[in-house]
Structure 1
Amino acid sequence: MIAQIRSLFRPALLSDRAFGSPTDRRRRRVLIFTAIATAVLAALPRVVLGASDGFRIGIIGTGRIGGALAALWAKAGHELLISSRHPDDLKPLAARLGSNVRVGTPREAAAFGDVVLIAVPYGALPQVGRDYAGLMARKVVLETGNPRPERDGPMATPALNRGTGVASAEYLPGVRLVRAFTSVPYLALRSEAHRSGERVGVPLAADDRDALAVAARLVEDAGFEPVPVGGLARARDFDVGSPVFGRALTARELRQALGVAR
């Protein structure tokens, strides 16, 4: 980052050698460096810069998985906007979770979050993408859905055949996608969080390294151990029908089953 900033203001440094006293030139260089550094840092995603603080998380679909994670992340100190097709039904949950949780529409959740969790039936994902991908552009998006032909119809089979990570990326263009919380049963999200001893592992797949780091932090905040598997193409290794799907394995067991290093 420092090298990038220096390369930006080097032409200005060269041009100021023709005039002014040494003191004036030093002062001018400090001002140039400060201005460009501020501009570069401002352009970085807020979620990366704020990694030591709580995130603003919008949740689209606050059902079994979304509701369980909302409770865990609220307890960890993150600011949440939870949403569903019937937001008024979520007001009692928000009241239980505390003052850092509010209720809104899916559109408001997509706009609110530095990070967005999408926890909807997979058949609804194409519509979510059409409606909200623009609001989520360049944001870190954790997506949890699993295609099931008996529920989601004809679109589920080709998504499974291609691999859900690849399919989801097509439905959500422009976001920094992470497949996360897809294989651990929702009941385990409630019962196994922050357990003593070896923690349950949550496999993660993403093509964006910074997005993967954010997702890993949120897995830890929820009380589990992140297990990065690779890019989105490798998300198929923990899709429906894989040996690890639907099981609350420890991180060690999960790494062994998926053949990934610690």
Structure 2
Amino acid sequence: MKIGILNTGNIGARLARAWAAAGHELMIAQDGDFWKLEPLLEELGDKARYGSIREAAEFGDVLLFSVYWPRLDAVVNAAGNALDGKVIIETMNPRGVNAQFEHYHDLDFMRDNSTAEVLQARLPNARVVKAFNILPAPVLEAAAWSGSPLQPNILYASDDQAAAQLTRGLIVDAGFKPVNAGLLKAARSIEQLGVLMHHVANHEYAGDADLVRLGVSVIEANPGPIFREGLV
């Protein structure tokens, strides 16, 4: 499959490695200084090539929209109509930055919206899927979980079932277990889960600055539920 990565930052680079190893063709783009991608391109060899935002959007049958939230319009404008009809896997979180360059979750925005819904409204001819936004980049590799008893899930949501199914396969190719969260409106809950994980990191783990190792798994009871009659 041909995959265009817009923008190849910390998340995009991790997924580029996994998808290249799975045999996909990649074109990677950078919303910024292209020279930052030179080490990754050297590492991936003939499995990936560099392109502009527009070229990567034209190249990919599937696009990874791994963009800093305030840069959404700039990247969309750079890609133009090359985004029409494409499956777009969107990894953003609605985080802003204040005058002191401190990042924060935009809770007012999150109450009634999601980045995925904004992108879908901005690109009515595209097929947007929400995914890959919960795990921090340093643990967005299957090898990071090799000694863990459980593998984290990647939650995804979309209004386009064919696009969702395609994304499901790419989640597996990245080394994770996909979990279908339903229609695109569920992206609100997925993004809010990221805020909850932030609170858990700060309070349960005392705000360890190095704590970027939390994931979420959906676990099925085995052997199964235990039902009792009455109130006991």
TM range (shorter): 0.7 to 0.9
- Is 1:172 aligned to residue 119 of structure 2? no
Amino acid paired to 1:83:
A
**Residue in 2 aligned with 1:77?**
23
Match of 1:224 among 176, 179, 183: 176
One-letter amino acid of the structure 2 residue matched with residue 243 of structure 1: L
**Contact in 2 for aligned 1:133/1:174 (Cα 8 Å):** no
Q: 1:180 to 1:171 in 2, by over 3 A?
A: same
1:215 maps onto 2:167 in alignment = yes
The answer on whether the counterparts of 1:56 and 1:112 sit within 8 Å (CA) in structure 2 is yes
**TM-score of the superposed pair, with normalisation by structure 1:** 0.68
Give the total of aligned pairs: 199
CA distance in 2, matches of 1:147, 1:96: 31
**Counterpart-to-counterpart distance in 2, 1:170 and 1:229:** 20
1:115 is matched with which residue? 62
Equivalent in 249, 254, 259 of residue 216 of structure 2:
249
- Choose the corresponding residue for 1:127, options 74, 78, 91: 74
Structure showing greater relative contact order (alpha-carbon pairs closer than 8 Å, 6 or more residues apart): 2
Counterparts in 2 of 1:68-217, with a 5 A limit? 68-84=14-30, 85-150=32-97, 156=106, 159-164=109-114, 165-190=116-141, 192=143, 195=146, 198-217=150-169
Larger Rg: 1
Letter of the 2:112 partner, please give it: R
Q: CA deviation at 1:192?
A: 4.4
Unaligned regions of 5+ residues in structure 1, if any?
A: 1-54, 254-262
CA offset at residue 244 of structure 1? Answer: 5.1
Alpha-carbon separation, structure 1, partners of 2:5 and 2:109:
23
The 1-side partners of 2:77 and 2:56 are apart by 15
Could you tell me how far apart the structure 1 residues matched to 2:83 and 2:52 are?
14
1:138 to partner: Cα distance: 1.0
Secondary structure of 2:128's partner? strand
Of the structure 1 ranges 90-99 and 195-204, higher mean CA displacement relative to structure 2 is found in 195-204
Q: Contact (CA 8 Å) 1:178, 1:212: kept in 2 or not?
A: yes
Q: Which residue of 1 aligns with 2:223?
A: none
Contact 1:140–1:211 (CA under 8 A) maintained in structure 2: yes
Q: Where in structure 2 are there 5+ consecutive unaligned residues?
A: 199-211, 221-232
Distance (Å, rounded) in 1 between the aligned partners of 2:78 and 2:125: 13
Q: Which moved more, 1:240-249 or 1:135-144?
A: 240-249
Q: Which amino acid aligns with 1:77?
A: G
Deviations 1:167-188, CA, capped at 9 Å, x for gaps: 2212333110001101111111
Cα deviation, residue 97, structure 1: 1.4
CA deviation after TM superposition for structure 1 residue 193, in Å: 5.9
Quote the Cα distance in structure 2 between the aligned partners of 1:170 and 1:64. 26
Distance 2:39 2:196 in 1: 37
Worse-matched range after superposition: 243-252 or 95-104 = 243-252
- Quote the sequence identity (%): 35
The separation in 2 between residues aligned to 1:184 and 1:235, in whole angstroms, is 15
Aligned counterparts of 1:221 and 1:131: Cα–Cα separation in 2: 28
Please state which structure has a larger fraction of its residues in helix.
Answer: 1
Aligned to 1:233: 185
CA distance in 2 between counterparts of 1:193 and 1:205 reads: 24
